[in-house]
Structure 1
Amino acid sequence: MAAGGQPFLILHSASPGERRTALLRGDMLEDFAVERPARPDGVGDLHLGRVGARVPALSGIFVTLAGEESGFLPDNQGGEGLSEGQAAVVRILRAAQGGKGPRLDRKVPRDVAAEGPPRRLRRGPPAVERLAASHPAAAIRTDDPETAATLRAAGLGDRVTLARRGTLFEDAVEAAIERLLGHEVPLEGGGRLLIHPTPALVAIDVDTGAATRDRGAQRRVNEAALREAARQIRLRQLAGPILIDLAGLAPAARAEFVPALKSAAGGDRLLRILGTTALGLIETVRTRVHPPLHEVLGLPPTPLSHGLAALRRALREAESRPGAALALRAHPAVLRATEALDGTLEEYRRWTARALALRPDPALLPGEEVIEDA
């Protein structure tokens, strides 16, 4: 899937409860984001907050946001000089993580008011707007009229094309996205990556497969693995410590592969490559901004992810059969999670002019959902 020199293309698709945005260069997936409007990650949001306790050991302060959520504002991001009880306008710099509140800064417009109770003042830009800003020459295709109108109002009308719902993501793109939802990534020329996030770190193992006995082939697989590892780290938005275990090499020999990883990851400003450990693992760390894909979708996918994927299929079926009354038959856990996501079934009803019937079926495992006539 070589993409050298080809222009970028942004695809944005809306389905009930979910928005998927992909950046392509040629036929290569370069960036990907999944957003659930009912559960935004908050990055980029502006809040009027109330300064809470100062924590000298952490060189910062806690700030109470809307809904009593607490974020942390480091002194070097604008917290110095603020006192307890003071109102302050802050921006969410990094999403919340593992029970810890979001990271904040004070890089906000000067004309934003700082009076009243804690509340959100403005939402941060969605992925399609972020990608449109960072790739100003990229064409944008969306199947969502509201998104098209917003982008055109922002002066991007000459870049925006509106498509029929459910028609944007071709099979090759869907296959590339599907690989982001699993632990295993096949490599060109043989071998595979095995990606395992844990609460403490992400472990990436290189399996050379049949190339194990051939040193030249083994080296080529390791080099290909590092190129793909850099890409998967970016696409999955992995964060925190990331350790890469190359295959079939003595620990001392692995350090010579570090420059190859640095070259492959050159465009990822969030990733730092630290070198190798005593065991020969390549050690990296990546700054967290948005939640990693596995936190949004689950790895393996959660019942909600299966439910929203089924709604995408139902929406495509409804688009191809206008007026058809459809039903979703699925495990009760899938239906409960889907119903619980605010506005999801209402979006399906609004876009298709028909309600979707829900049929619990305990015999179906999550991932075995069926779209059928109501």
Structure 2
Amino acid sequence: MKGRTIVLDHLGDAEAAALMVDGQLEDLLVDAEDLPRVGTIYRAVADRPVKGQGGMFLRTPDGAAFLRQVKGLAPGQQLLVQVSGHAEDGKAIPVTQKLLFKSRYAIVTPDAPGLNISRSVKDEAERDRLLEIAHDAMGEAPHGLILRSSCAEADADEIAEDIGAMLTLAATVLEDEGTGPETLAEGDGPHVMAWREWTAKAEVVTDTGGFETRGVLDAIGGLSQDRVGLSGGAFMYVEPTRALVAVDVNTGGDASLAAGIKANMACARLLPRALRLRGLGGQITLDLAPMPKKDRRPFETALRAAFKSDDVDTALVGWTPLGHYELQRKRVRIPLSEVIS
């Protein structure tokens, strides 16, 4: 099946959204039941500092949160924070004080003034048009604004309406005068996130049972396996542990001199999708197939290019003394294994 299809449905009782591209599952968003959504904003209360970890535990309506900041904070102080990722089992909710009010076209940034346009919008005339829209819509608002790549060729009224909605939400949150821990804004669920993030032209399926009729359930079933097939008969295992995600690359039956670099390059191309669909983040260690050191640079270039289009922040850390390659990936999604177990 050619083309892009967005399927909005549920996995069990959990809201979920799937992006199918040419019949293949390209992305999957699943709601984290009983867990705060990424993007949720709290009025929190500082509890106790943990100087050894360079942070502060906070009290929120959803339990303990952890903020990586101690300077200027005192126990009992109230502050606004936003959920920045999913907490590991038994750990505090990760939060940040850098609030973002994010929608399909606009991101309002209270702590970063200025008007900015996505660098992927190259046409100068289009950039000028978007700046005009931004200036008119922002008025005298003191906040910063980022216009996303989805603004390119979009209707001016729709962009202005989006900016206005985010300004209204920002004002409601920032002008809050309440006391004690409270949820001030809920993070977006999978269906809204699909509208917000998957902006390229696509067929949208909202019928109940769409996951079954469009092949999403079959694709999800395949994700329960750790083994991922690569081109040329090679394969890799993507195995999450409590400490890290281990990726083991194997050449399969290829015994040629270039087998190692071919398998590793195939891993570089498919790794972002494999991690994204499984909802995996944190420390990631690649145990690559044997290859000469001269081939490391092309591998890094391929890996960097592959992650460039991925929407989850991933830092390419580098090589270890044992020849493994390490990455650090933000935990912004719940592991799929916790949803379908």
**Pair in the same fold by TM > 0.5:** yes
In the TM superposition, what is the alpha-carbon distance from 1:274 to its structure 2 partner? Answer: 2.2
Q: Is the 8 A contact 1:195 1:205 kept in 2?
A: yes
Q: Which digits, 9 at most, give the CA deviation of each residue in 1:29-85, with x for residues without a partner?
A: 221122254x23432222222222234444432210115x1112233xxx7544322
Per-residue Cα deviation, 1:318-370 (whole angstroms, up to 9, x for no partner): xxxxxxxxxxxxxxxxxxxxxxxxxxxxxxxxxxxxxxxxxxxxxxxxxxxxx
Q: Return closer, same or farther for 1:74/1:276 CA change in 2, 3 Å cut-off.
A: closer
Match 1:244 to one of 263, 268, 286:
286
Q: Distance in 1 between matches of 2:57 and 2:245?
A: 28
SS of residue matched to 2:308: coil
The 3 A distance-change label for structure 1 pair 27 and 35 is same
Aligned AA for 2:237?
L
**Residue 56 of structure 2: aligned partner:** 61
Equivalenced residue count is 268
1:314-329 aligned at under 5 Å gives the runs none
Q: Which structure has the bigger radius of gyration?
A: 1
Q: Contact between 2:280 and 2:333, CA under 8 Å: does it hold in 1?
A: no
Q: Which amino acid aligns with 1:12?
A: L
Is 1:258–1:282's contact at 8 Å kept on the other side of the alignment? no
- CA shift for structure 1 position 182: 1.6
**Paired amino acid for 1:182:** Q
Separation in 2 of the partners of 1:60 and 1:288?
18
Kindly report the root-mean-square deviation, in angstroms, between the aligned alpha carbons of the 2 structures: 2.7
Q: Which residue of 2 aligns with 1:127?
A: 190
Scaled by the length of structure 2, the TM-score of the pair is 0.69
Q: Which range moves more in the overlay, 234-243 or 246-255?
A: 246-255
Unaligned runs of 5+ residues in structure 1 are: 144-162, 303-374
What are the equivalent positions in structure 2 for 1:131-210 lying under 5 Å apart?
131-139=194-202, 141-143=204-206, 163=207, 165-170=208-213, 172-210=215-253
User: Take 1:183 and 1:139, find their aligned partners in 2: how far apart are those partners?
Assistant: 30
Which letter maps to 1:47? Answer: Y
Deviations 1:290-343 (A, max 9, x none): 23323x23xxx53xxxxxxxxxxxxxxxxxxxxxxxxxxxxxxxxxxxxxxxxx
CA distance in 2, matches of 1:202, 1:219: 21
Counterpart in the other structure of 2:8: 12
| C-alpha displacement of 1:172 | 4.5
Higher normalized contact order (CA 8 Å, seq sep 6+, divided by chain length):
2
Q: Which range moves more in the overlay, 79-88 or 185-194? A: 79-88
Residue 291 of structure 1 aligns to a residue in which SS? coil
**Offset at 1:197?**
0.9
The 2-side partners of 1:140 and 1:133 are apart by: 15
| 1:74 paired residue among 59, 68, 71 | 68
